[in-house]
Amino acid sequence: MIGRGLVTAVLVVALDQLSKAGIVALFAAYPPGHLVRLAPFFDLLLTRNRGISFGLFNNGDAANSLLFSVAAAVVIVVLIFWLKRVETRFLAVAIGLIIGGAAGNVIDRLIRGSVIDFLDFHLGSWHWPAFNVADSAICLGVAAMLLEGFVLRHTPPQAKGRGDSLS
């Protein structure tokens, strides 16, 4: 299953980086703060997040960016080791989504010094924090892992052999 998970991760990274490059190119022609309204509840808006999820610790400190990149790299390594032991396709894809999303954001931090966020959903004046394809993949991967763990959980095979009974 490691192959399935890693292919998923590579596809997520490619889609994430292509979408970010497209957004950066699109907004190069506009003044800072410009947004593209796609629907009454959805805009494209170029933002640069130097912090972690939802803009926490977004103070522009380069040390934070390095710290968050190292932490994400450690998570990626742990997930790859976990992926080696996975026995279901569903969980392999879920872990691949998380690995790809984390890797996509690490690439941004290393190349751009910040993570490019651009998907801006809102209801009136209330805006959800802007996010990107990598963030979406991480959320979908975590949701799929929870679904697999709580709903699709397979019962482990029962031990067979002498000494296994309680009688």
Q: Which domain holds residue 129?
A: 2-150
Residue 166 lies in a domain: no
149: pLDDT confidence band, cut at 50, 70 and 90? confident
Q: Helix, strand or coil for residue 69?
A: helix
Residue 7 lies in a domain: yes
Cα separation, 95 vs 79, whole angstroms = 7
Known catalytic membership, residue 61: no
Residue 110 lies in a domain: yes
Give 123-129 contacts, CB < 8 A, sequence gap 24+.
123/41, 129/53, 129/54, 129/55
The tokens for 68 are: 């968050």
pLDDT at 69: 82
Out of 108, 117, 120, 164, the active site residue is 117
Pairing of strands 42-49, 115-123: antiparallel
> Residue 55, by phi and psi: left (phi above 0), alpha (psi -120 to 50) or beta?
left
Residue 160 lies in a domain: no
pLDDT in tens, 41-93: 999 999 998 766 555 455 555 556 677 788 889 999 999 999 999 989 999 99
Query: 60 with 67: CB under 8 angstroms?
Result: no
Domain total in the chain? 1
Residue 98 lies in a domain: yes
- Short-list 27, 102, 32, CA closest to 71: 102
pTM for this prediction: 0.83
Known catalytic membership, residue 135: yes
pLDDT in tens, 91-128: 999 999 999 999 999 999 889 888 999 999 999 889 88
